[in-house]
């Protein structure tokens, strides 16, 4: 049975196929219909309309087709070439009877010329009747000639020998004519192709190849589309279904908010959906999913090859191939994993059945279709599944669904779906190909309060008219624009991000010209709050205070509730002090609420402070730093006493350094003078009187240098001891 699906062409007469090729209907006829039907063992394709659509926010859509088939059946579908990879990644086939999924075949990406050349009759390049006949040399045919054909009986049978061009008389002249040479029982005959009314191939294989070549040509009329054939094997009538995920426009939402003085705000929501397919949707069940499933593309359509090395054979005796046994642990783990997966599937299926029966008894029916995730694995074939209960089972297994919660007053049933949120359109949707539609999803009163929202970075002078509303619709509100109406009058537009059920959100839609705000920055203050020393490290903490005044005037005739958005600087260690607690804080702003009566002027003050810490290591600083801390009023008396004593200890070290510096200076002076004397000695004759004077002076300086060098060593030892004493003293300063 598996071989049946390869014959994808429907049974059709060759007369019609011949016309499609530009060959006259009087040239080709079908072989014996009974014989052709016996050879063509797959019935004509069955139509499976789209019955269920699920649109996501991540650029993909789930489409489900279902219908009735009888016995062995084939379903032909057509897809854009760009959708084939998604199709191969996500397609799920289900046969709800006792049938099975035979196979799925689809067009390759080979050039059409290469595909056509693979058939017994090559239809590349607009072949003529003579060209087709010439390809079939040696095939047995039956020919019916036109009445009155020259020296030809009405019906002939034989084998094609070839086709040639001959000169034939035409009145007083001759013309070229295509002539088919044919070996018949009576011998060799030459038949003008212009006199052939019908031609039939006796070989059913050739006829089948001809039909398949014509089908291939028909599918190339739209070069951007590829054919996919689904094959179901079974007995009797039964329901089948195919579902797949392909690229689709994201669905969008838009809202209308109607405000009234003495009534709750009324929220109306619409979903904007597109039919991107080339097929009309008639009575389609639709669901809209608000979520971001991970979706990606993978090239499964193009044939992929890997490079293999070429290995030269070595000239020694052949070995038997080595085989290796699998590890026991891996085998046991694999079996355990399969058993666990089966238990989980059964548990979720039972739970979904219970939920589905309960909802059906309440009049809801099953709310959601089976939806593979956008990252579903490759082709999945499910056989022998029960009827409609599979929808809830598949949904529970694949997305972990919970039962939908019907929301009174809404035009769609909304419900949580794991980490997603789903709107199931309550009525079937009919939408033409490449058309768009607005579908109502929300229509309900919500809790809300009119406010004026001031943010200096948005509008420096005036706040914005807005609404602080709570999503009491029971549905997740997908992001989208909101048109605000006050009564029947247009008030403005706004936009809202995703809002969860019972979540509060602000929206603004117009400038409040009746209220004015003047932000003023108060003088900042800075004050040292503490000085602490630990082992020679002094830490000072400084409190920085900033103040901002918002002067507010309400010139309108109605009271206002003003929300002031003030920058949230907790990431800079600022905290609020002596300020009313904000009604709400976000990562970016604090929101302070204050009532402002009509014609009232008031001031709202926001005060913030933060502490700055500064660390100083005393050993790395001079006397001025120590004296700075001694003079600080915030420093304790004990710390000041230790720092004063440190200065006295440092005086001993400073004295030792000065004495050492003096000795080093004297040695440098003597060494320079000796260099001068030695130079003079080299230039002075030994007999000169001054020569002896230079020698005596050089000798005296050598004695002085020896004495200074000894003193330098002694002073270096003393300076090192004084510095160590000072460092040790500083390192132990603490309070």
Ranges 26-35, 77-86, 230-239, 411-420: which has the least confidence: 26-35
Q: Which has more pLDDT, 394 or 193? A: 193
286 within some domain: no
How many other C-beta atoms lie within 10 A of the C-beta of residue 499?
20
Using 50, 70 and 90 to split pLDDT, how confident is the model at 27? very low
CA–CA separation, 35 and 314 (whole Å): 56
pLDDT band at 403 (very low <50, low <70, confident <90, very high): very low
Average pLDDT (626-652) is: 85
In this structure, what token pair is assigned to residue 633? 């009023």
Question: What span, in angstroms and rounded, lies between the C-alpha atoms of 577 and 575?
Answer: 7
Which residues, in sequence order, are bridge partners of residue 192? 179
Q: Looking at the predicted structure, is the pLDDT value of residue 39 above 80?
A: no
Q: What average pLDDT score do residues 117-122 get?
A: 85
Same domain, 534 and 681: no
Distance CA 245, CA 91 (A): 7
The arithmetic mean of pLDDT across residues 26-46, rounded, is 46
Q: Compute the distance between CA of residue 619 and CA of residue 730 in angstroms, rounded to an integer.
A: 7
Does residue 635 lie in a domain region? yes
**Exposed, middle or buried, 694 (CB in 10 Å: 0-12/13-18/19+)?**
middle
Give the CA distances from residue 266 to residues 256, 269, 495, 688, in Å, rounded to whole numbers and listed in that order.
Answer: 8, 10, 16, 124
- In angstroms, rounded to a whole number, what is the distance separating the alpha carbons of residues 456 and 468? 19
Residue 364 is assigned to a structural domain of this protein: no
pTM: 0.54
Rounded to 5 degrees, φ, ψ at 508 are: -125, 145
> What are the tens digits of pLDDT across the range 151-204?
667 788 999 999 999 888 877 888 888 999 999 988 898 888 888 888 989 999
Contact 334, 378 (CB under 8 A): no
Go through the chain and tell me how many residues it has: 735
Q: Which residue has the higher pLDDT, 351 or 469?
A: 469
pLDDT over threshold 90, residue 498: no
Which of the residue ranges 26-40, 95-109, 600-614 would you say has the lowest mean pLDDT? 26-40
The torsion defined by the Cα of 340, 341, 342 and 345, in degrees rounded to 10, comes to: 120
pLDDT at residue 700 greater than cutoff 60: yes
| pLDDT score recorded for residue 340 | 54
> Where does 309-370 show beta strands of DSSP type E?
none
DSSP annotation of 82 = G
CA–CA gap between residue 245 and residue 556 (Å, rounded): 56
Considering the domain architecture, whether residues 632 and 586 belong to the same structural domain is answered as no
**Same domain, yes or no: 666 and 693:** yes
Question: How far, CA to CA in Å, does 495 sit from each of 79, 480, 499, 509, 546?
Answer: 36, 6, 12, 9, 34
My answer on whether 598 and 669 are in the same domain is no
Instruction: Report residue 349's pLDDT band, with 50, 70 and 90 as the boundaries.
Output: very low
Residue 369, pLDDT > 90, answer no
Q: Residue 628: what pLDDT? A: 82
State residue 461's pLDDT score: 93
Point out the least confidently predicted range of 41-50, 259-268, 371-380, 726-735: 371-380
| pLDDT of residue 598 exceeding 80 | yes
- Do 107 and 201 lie in one domain? The reply is yes
Q: Residues 478-497: what's their mean pLDDT?
A: 90
Which one is predicted more confidently, 450 or 125? 450
Name 448's bridge partners. Answer: 469
The mean-pLDDT minimum among 16-20, 107-111, 430-434, 717-721 falls in: 16-20
* Predicted pLDDT of residue 499: 87
Q: Which of 565, 600, 620 is the last residue of a domain?
A: 620
In terms of residue numbers, what domain contains 572?
Answer: 519-620
For 421-438, b/e burial (b = at least 16 CB within 10 A) is: bbbbbbeebebeeeeebe
- Which range in 45-59, 294-308, 347-361, 591-605 is most confidently predicted, on average pLDDT? 591-605
Q: Are residues 672 and 592 in the same domain?
A: no
Asked if the model's pLDDT at residue 325 lies above 70, the reply is no
Determine, yes or no, domain membership for 413: no
DSSP letter string over 167-231? EEEETTEEEEEEEEEEEETTEEEEEEGGGEEEEEES-HHHHHHHHHHHHHHHHTTSTTEEEEEEE
Query: Would you say residue 523 has pLDDT above 60?
Result: yes
CA distance 182 to 286: 63
**Residue 73 counted as domain residue:** no
User: Does 553 map to a domain?
Assistant: yes
Average pLDDT, the chain: 78
Strand arrangement of the beta sheet that strand 187-192 belongs to: 187-192, 173-184, 155-170, 140-145, 196-201
* 592 touches 564 (CB < 8 A): yes
Record the tokens describing residue 474, joined without a space. Answer: 């029971």
Q: Which residue has the higher pLDDT, 25 or 66?
A: 66
Whether residue 209 sits in one domain with residue 104: yes
The continuous run of DSSP H or E covering 631 comes out as helix 623-631
445 has a pLDDT exceeding 70: yes
More confidently predicted of 659 and 383: 659
What's the confidence (pLDDT) of residue 6?
26
- Minimum mean pLDDT range among 414-428, 447-461, 549-563, 721-735: 414-428
What pLDDT does residue 372 have? 38
Measured CA to CA, the distance from residue 347 to residue 636 in angstroms comes to 73
Structure confidence at residue 307 (pLDDT): 74
**135 vs 223: CA distance, rounded Å:** 27
Question: Is 606 in the same domain as 644?
Answer: no
Residue 321 has pLDDT above 70, yes or no: no
Last residue in a domain, options 233, 267, 292:
233
Q: What is the mean pLDDT of residues 331-340?
A: 50
What Cα–Cα distance (Å) separates residue 512 from each residue in 45, 461, 555, 557, 598? 66, 10, 10, 12, 13
* Token pair for 544: 């920085």
Q: Are residues 687 and 557 in the same domain?
A: no
Phi, psi of 321 (to 5 degrees): -65, 140
Least confidently predicted of 147-156, 239-248, 347-356, 518-527: 347-356
**Separation CA 511–CA 494 (nearest Å):** 12
Q: Which of 550, 556, 567, 446 is nearest to 511 (CA)?
A: 556
Q: pLDDT exceeding 70 applies to what percent of the chain?
A: 76
Lowest mean pLDDT among 54-63, 495-504, 526-535, 619-628: 619-628
Q: What is the pLDDT of residues 407-437, one digit of tens each?
A: 334 556 666 655 567 888 888 999 998 899 9
- 170 inside domain: yes
Q: What is the DSSP string of 471-520?
A: --SSS-B-SEEEEEEETTEEEEEEEE--B-TT-EEEEEEEE-TTEEEEEE
Q: How far is CA 662 from CA 105, 553, 649, 670, in A?
A: 102, 76, 21, 13
Tell whether 629 and 650 lie within a shared domain.
Answer: yes
Q: Is the pLDDT of residue 582 over 60?
A: yes
pLDDT of 607 reads 93
Structure tokens belonging to residue 204? 């059913």
184-200 CB burial, b ≥16 within 10 A, e <16: eeeeebebbbebbbbbb
Q: Where among 562, 589, 620 does a domain terminate?
A: 620
| Residue reference for tokens 């426009």 | 249
In 3D space, the residue among 426, 99, 80 whose CA is nearest the CA of residue 276 turns out to be 80
**Which residue in 238, 267, 241 sits closest to 254, CA to CA?**
267
Same domain, 34 and 173: yes
Asked if pLDDT for residue 653 goes beyond 50, the answer is yes
User: Which residues pair with residue 187 across a beta bridge?
Assistant: 184
pLDDT of residue 329: 45
**Does any domain span residue 349?**
no
Tally of domains in the chain: 3
Percent of the chain, pLDDT > 90? 26
Residue 730 pLDDT exceeds 90: no
Question: Residue 633 pLDDT > 50, yes or no?
Answer: yes
Q: Are residues 565 and 666 in the same domain?
A: no
């Amino acid at each position: 049975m598996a071989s049946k699906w390869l014959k994808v062409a429907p049974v059709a007469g060759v007369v019609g196929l011949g016309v499609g090729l530009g060959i006259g209907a009087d040239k080709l006829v079908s072989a014996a219909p009974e014989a052709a039907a016996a050879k063509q063992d797959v019935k004509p394709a069955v139509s499976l309309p789209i019955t269920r659509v699920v649109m996501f926010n991540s650029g993909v859509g789930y489409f489900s087709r279902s219908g009735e088939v009888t016995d062995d059946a084939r379903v032909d579908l057509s897809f854009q070439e760009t959708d084939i990879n998604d199709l191969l990644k996500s397609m799920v086939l289900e046969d709800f009877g006792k049938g099975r999924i035979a196979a799925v075949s689809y067009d390759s990406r080979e050039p059409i010329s290469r595909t056509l050349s693979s058939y017994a009759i090559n239809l590349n390049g607009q072949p003529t009747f003579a060209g087709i006949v010439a390809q079939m040399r040696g095939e047995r045919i039956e020919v019916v000639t036109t009445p009155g054909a020259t020296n030809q009986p009405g019906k002939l049978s034989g084998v094609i020998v070839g086709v040639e061009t001959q000169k034939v008389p035409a009145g007083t002249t001759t013309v070229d004519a295509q002539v088919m040479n044919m070996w018949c029982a009576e011998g060799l005959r030459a038949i003008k192709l212009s006199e052939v009314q019908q031609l039939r191939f006796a070989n059913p294989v050739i006829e089948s190849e001809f039909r398949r070549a014509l089908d291939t040509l028909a599918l190339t009329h739209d070069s951007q589309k590829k054919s996919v054939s689904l094959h179901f094997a079974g007995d009797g009538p039964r329901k089948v279904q195919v579902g797949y995920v392909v690229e689709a426009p994201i669905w969008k939402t838009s809202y209308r908010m109607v405000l009234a003085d003495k009534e709750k705000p009324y929220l109306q929501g619409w979903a904007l959906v597109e039919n991107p397919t080339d097929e009309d949707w008639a009575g389609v069940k639709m669901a809209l999913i608000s979520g971001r499933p991970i979706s990606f593309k993978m090239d499964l359509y193009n044939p992929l090859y890997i490079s293999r090395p070429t290995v030269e054979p070595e000239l020694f005796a052949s070995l038997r191939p080595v085989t290796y046994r699998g590890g026991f642990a891996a085998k046991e783990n694999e079996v355990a994993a399969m058993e666990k997966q089966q238990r989980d599937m059964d548990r979720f299926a039972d739970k979904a059945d219970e939920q589905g029966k309960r909802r059906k008894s309440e009049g809801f029916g099953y709310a959601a279709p089976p939806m593979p995730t956008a990252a579903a694995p490759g082709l999945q074939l499910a056989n022998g599944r029960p009827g409609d209960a599979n929808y809830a089972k598949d949904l529970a297994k694949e997305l972990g669904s919970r039962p939908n919660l019907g929301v009174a007053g809404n035009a769609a049933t909304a419900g949580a779906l794991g980490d997603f949120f789903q709107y199931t359109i309550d009525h079937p949707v009919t939408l033409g190909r490449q058309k768009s539609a607005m579908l109502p999803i929300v229509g309900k009163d919500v809790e809300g309060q009119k406010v004026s929202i001031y943010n200096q970075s948005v509008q420096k002078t005036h706040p914005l008219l807005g609404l602080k509303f709570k999503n009491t619709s029971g549905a997740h509100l997908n992001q989208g624009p909101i048109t605000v109406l006050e009564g029947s009058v247009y008030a403005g537009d706004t936009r809202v991000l995703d809002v969860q059920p019972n979540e509060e959100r602000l929206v603004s839609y117009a400038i409040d010209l009746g209220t004015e705000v003047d932000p003023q920055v108060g003088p900042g203050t800075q004050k040292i709050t503490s000085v602490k020393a630990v082992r020679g490290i002094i830490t000072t903490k400084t409190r920085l205070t900033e103040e901002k005044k918002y002067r507010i005037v309400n010139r309108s005739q109605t009271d206002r509730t003003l929300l002031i958005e003030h920058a949230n600087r907790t990431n800079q260690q600022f905290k609020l002090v002596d300020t009313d607690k904000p009604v709400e804080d976000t990562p970016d702003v604090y929101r302070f609420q204050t009532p402002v009566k009509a014609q009232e002027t008031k001031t709202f003050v926001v005060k913030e402070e933060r502490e700055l810490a500064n660390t100083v290591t005393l050993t790395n600083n001079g006397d001025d730093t120590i004296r700075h801390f001694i003079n600080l009023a915030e420093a304790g008396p004990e710390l000041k006493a230790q720092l004063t004593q440190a200065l006295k200890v440092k005086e001993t070290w400073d004295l030792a350094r000065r004495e050492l510096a003096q000795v080093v200076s004297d040695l440098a002076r003597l060494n320079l003078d000796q260099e001068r004397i030695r130079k003079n000695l080299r230039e002075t004759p030994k007999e000169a009187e001054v020569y002896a004077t230079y020698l005596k002076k050089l000798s005296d300086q050598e004695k002085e240098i020896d004495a200074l060098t000894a003193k330098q060593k002694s002073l270096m030892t003393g300076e090192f001891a004084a510095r160590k004493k000072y460092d040790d003293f500083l390192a132990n300063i603490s309070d």
